[in-house]
Structure formats: structure tokens, C-alpha cells
Amino acid sequence: MTTLDPRFAKILAKMRSTPFEPEKVAARMLAERIAIKSGLTFDEAISIMDGKRSNSTYTPGRTEPSRQEAARREAERRRAEQVRIWKAKKTAIVKRYGSTDRVFARCECESRLVAAVSAWRTVVPGTSERTSSLDGWRGWTRTAPLPPQRVVDAICKAYRLPESITEALKECDYWALRDADVAQMLCEGGRAAHGNTLDLVILVRLDIVRELAERKLPLRSVAELRERFRRFQAPFIADQALAAALLQDLEDLSHLSASDDSHVDSIARMIGNRLKQDPSISDRRLARELNCSPTTVGKIRKDLGLSGNARSVHRGGRTYTMKAAVQKEPRQAA
């Protein structure tokens, strides 16, 4: 005879007592799994807990049918939940694009890429949308990872290539989202679509942009270094604990760099405001007040066009006015 798991009673009590719907759903799912492991359906387990049976066991003859029935119901429930999630995602995608037709229609970038390679593009027989080959190139191989150079040049010129790692990663994310959206629309009843939904021309562009982001574009900030490492290096490090530690170090450095930049901007604003209020204050005095370099004050003064103003200097309790330097005109050749 099979005994009902005693944890079922605690979970059932939690499900009945909590006022929060998410907790009820989670408790119900856990209780159903425990009931199935005991060879019972959820309703049978409830009947046992409510005292509708004489004890918390049942006859061995009902074990297998009950277990099979419980498993079937659990599979149906999961399937229904999967379909519900798929429909919700599909509705959100259509709402974002405006209509189903717009999801499958070419965006402006896709149209430019296809137009740029039209002279070398061959389509899949029976369709006018999917690219079959580009100047004889049908896809990545070890000896030919990219199509002929003239096709690559046309794809690069279709629209501006990214000039920074941030821009390159943004374009990579755009194509990844585009691929996921079309795949979600193509799947049936919640089953994921197989294969890449992006056209061959787009895949070439994506490889070019990814290469720029991974190796070719120069770093402009610690944040870009962090993103380059996170996307292209960390997943391939055998010791994932080490990768996580390095990633955290880069995260901390990026925050420090951002705070330093904001501090410099703040100092520059304070110097500018102080000079506008009192252009006669000397560079050294203002530098002492704000704990910065006199050279920095002089540079900001020059940028504000206040270099020609007379300045005051305090010495021995007295204030002296220093005449502004006279700008000499360049001597003209005779």
C-alpha cells in the first residue's frame, strides 16, 4: 500500500491559507507533483486529507491507473500553460509591430541589404523572399566563411557600419530580437520553430558586425570592455567561477569610471558657474577653493571667453587688481 507524502498536508494548508494568487498557483503545482509521486491524482490526495477515506492509503490495484491518469493530466496542464504563454507572446509581438503582416515584412535595413546584393542574389525556387546563394556562395564553410569580397563590400555599404562597440552590439541585439520574433510567430501551438529565420544576406551582415564588436573596433570605455568580455569571452572560459569573478571586476571598474567622469563634469560646472559670477577671481584662488588645478581653471576660463577680464589677487590682507594680458596681433610680413 502506498502512503501519501506528509509534505502534501503542509503545502495544501499553505495553498488554502495564502491570500496571494501567485502563491496559490505555485503551491498547487507543487502539491500536484507530490501527489503524482505518491501514485495519486490531486483530487484523490485532497480526499485523503479531508478525511473522505478511512485512511491515507489505497489498494495496490489502483496504483498504476491512478499514476498514469495523474501523469496525463499533468502533461495536459503543462501543454495548456505552454499554449497560453505562446499566445500571450504572439499577441505582444503583433502589438509591437502593429500587425501580423508587418512582423513578416522586411524592415528598412533588410530592404537595403537585399537591394545592395540584388545583382548576385539567387532566391530559393518557388519563393521571392529567401536568398539561396550570393554570387555562388551558399553559406559558411571553413574555406569560405564569407561570400566574395564584392558582395561583402556591397553589404557593408548598404547602410552605415557601427563605429563603436556599443553601436555594434546594439545592431546584433536588433537582429537577434528580429529572429526571435519571427520564430515565435512561426511556431505552432507553442512549439519553437526550427532553423534560423534570418535571410542569408542578414546573416552575412550580422557576422561582419559581430566581428567588429568582438575584435576590430577600439575600446572607448570600461563598459564596452565589460560587454565585449561578457558576450565573446566569458562563455568560452572553462572555469565559469573565474569568468564570473572577472566579469564582476569589470562591472566594478565601469561604475568607478562612470563616477570619475561625473565628478570631472561636476567640477567643470562649478568652475564655470563661479567664473560667471566673479570673472575677476584668480585661477589659483578658485583652484584652492574647489581643490583642483589652476591649469584646469585657466582652460575653462579661456573656453568661456573670460581670459581678457582683469583679475584680483589677495596678498597680506590687501586686494590687488591684475591687468588682463593684452593680446598682441601677429606681425604681418612686409
Would you state the torsion angle of the CA atoms of residues 75, 80, 84, 86, taken in this order, to the nearest 10 degrees? 50
- pLDDT of res. 328: 53
Query: Which of the pair, 80 or 5, is modelled with greater confidence?
Result: 80
The secondary structure of residue 192, as a DSSP letter, is P
Question: What mean pLDDT, rounded, does the chain reach?
Answer: 81
Q: Answer for the pair 41, 73: CB distance below 8 angstroms, yes or no.
A: yes
Output phi, psi for 322, to 5 deg: -100, 125
Residue 315: the pLDDT is: 61
> How do the domains of the chain map onto residue ranges?
7-100, 106-218, 242-322
Reported as a single tens digit per residue, the pLDDT across 94-110 is 999 999 999 999 999 99
Which residue has cell 501519501? 4
For the purposes of burial, counting CB atoms within 10 Å of the CB of 119, is it exposed (0-12), middle (13-18) or buried (19 or more)? exposed
Sign of torsion, CA 19 22 23 26?
A: positive
Residue 14 contacts residue 27 (beta carbons within 8 Å): yes
Measured between alpha carbons, how far is 42 from 50 in angstroms, rounded to an integer? Answer: 12
Cα–Cα dist 327/309, whole Å: 12
d(CA 212, CA 214): 6
What is the percent of the chain where pLDDT is above 90?
Answer: 28
User: Is it the case that residue 30 has pLDDT exceeding 80?
Assistant: yes
Does residue 115 register a pLDDT over 80? yes
Write down the number of H helices and E strands in the chain.
13, 4
For 287, counting Cβ atoms within 10 Å of its Cβ (0-12 exposed, 13-18 middle, 19+ buried), the class is middle
- Residue 139, CB-side half-sphere exposure with 13 Å CA sphere: 6
Give the per-residue pLDDT at 206. Answer: 95
Q: Residue 56: which pLDDT band, with cuts at 50, 70 and 90?
A: very low
C-beta of residue 271 within 8 angstroms of C-beta of residue 290: yes
Helical residues (DSSP H) of 18-62, grouped into ranges: 21-37, 42-49
| Topology of the domain covering 242-322 | Phenylalanyl-tRNA Synthetase; Chain B, domain 1 (3.30.56)
**Lowest-pLDDT range, 25-29, 189-193, 197-201?**
189-193
Q: What is the pLDDT of residue 174?
A: 95
Distance from C-alpha of 68 to C-alpha of 36, rounded to nearest angstrom: 9
pLDDT digit string (tens) for 216-236?
A: 999 888 888 889 998 998 888
Cell numbers 571598474: residue: 253
For the chain, first and last CA: distance in Å?
118
Look at residue 159 and tell me whether its pLDDT is greater than 80: yes
Convert the pLDDT of each residue in 245-284 to its tens digit: 888 888 888 777 665 556 566 778 888 888 888 888 888 8
